[in-house]
Amino acid sequence: MTSRRTLFAALALAGATALAGCGSSSGGVATPTGESTLVVAAAASLQSAFTEIGREFQAAHDGVVVQFTFGGSSGLAAQLAEGAPADVFASADVVNMDRAVDAGLVDGAPVPFARNTLEIVTHPGNPAGIEDLASLAQPGVELAVCAPQVPCGAATAAVAAEAGVVLRPASEEQSVTDVLARVTSGEADAGLVYVTDAAAAGAGVHRVPFPEAEKAVNEYPIAVLAASAAPALAGDFVAYVTGPEGQAVLAAHGFRAP
């Protein structure tokens, strides 16, 4: 089991986060120090909020360590279908959760726990003069978006269609955090990311809200996985995320209530 969990971490190494004391132990299995590890596969846009929730959950559950693998929801769903082990899956859309359900990967019914919308981000000072969604189609604008199979990419396509704007992105990324990184690094003039990611970037970006974003509100579901080594503990984590404590953290990070 440990080797398969190591493989899962390797498949999404760039998005993996282990909270203090995690090591490489198997989810739900006691380590030599008496700790139990819960492995959570979660959408990249949840990284800041879930890292905080994970710390709170650990504090409330003595001897439990939460290990996260963050990445694009479609990639995580594919890895889970290929046998990558985890205890909980949190997706940035219903489509990829439904794929996990249809593949028999989920134990019980997924529970919606948050919603999110898109926002445009540019360099501080907005040197490209981006004012709205249509501005992204201007000649010479280097635009970064999520790939179509990723939830933020599907939302991008929906808002562009709603606005009647034809976007010609310079790059299509596998996660919303990759889009944000291209903007903050200067590789792109602008990007379409979630409101929560734009907020987390702080002074590192200029934010441009646009009304069409309301036409593509992503619902985030969470579920215990059928192959979990610790289904009761996984259920406790889902309950924490959907309960008052978890919802307060998500709201503080800019997520809407489900």
User: How far apart, in whole angstroms, are the C-alpha atoms of residue 183 and residue 122?
Assistant: 6
Contact 1/85 with Cβ under 8 angstroms? yes
Angle between helices 47-60 and 244-252 (to 10 degrees): 150
- Torsion angle in degrees (nearest 10) through CA of 119, 123, 128, 134: -10
Q: How far apart are CA 145 and CA 193, in angstroms?
A: 7
CA distance 251 to 246: 9
- The answer on whether 45 is annotated among ligand-binding residues is yes
Residues paired with residue 223 on neighbouring β-strands, in sequence order: 89
| 24 in a labelled binding site | no
- Provide the pairing of β-strand 218-225 with 106-116: antiparallel
Contact 29, 229 (CB under 8 A): yes
Annotated ligand binding at 121? The verdict is no
Beta bridge partners of residue 111, listed in sequence order: 222
Annotated binding-site residue? 176 = yes
Is there a contact between 116 and 217 (Cβ–Cβ < 8 Å)? yes
Residue numbers in the known binding site for molybdate are 45, 73, 176, 194
Residue numbers in the known binding site are 45, 73, 176, 194
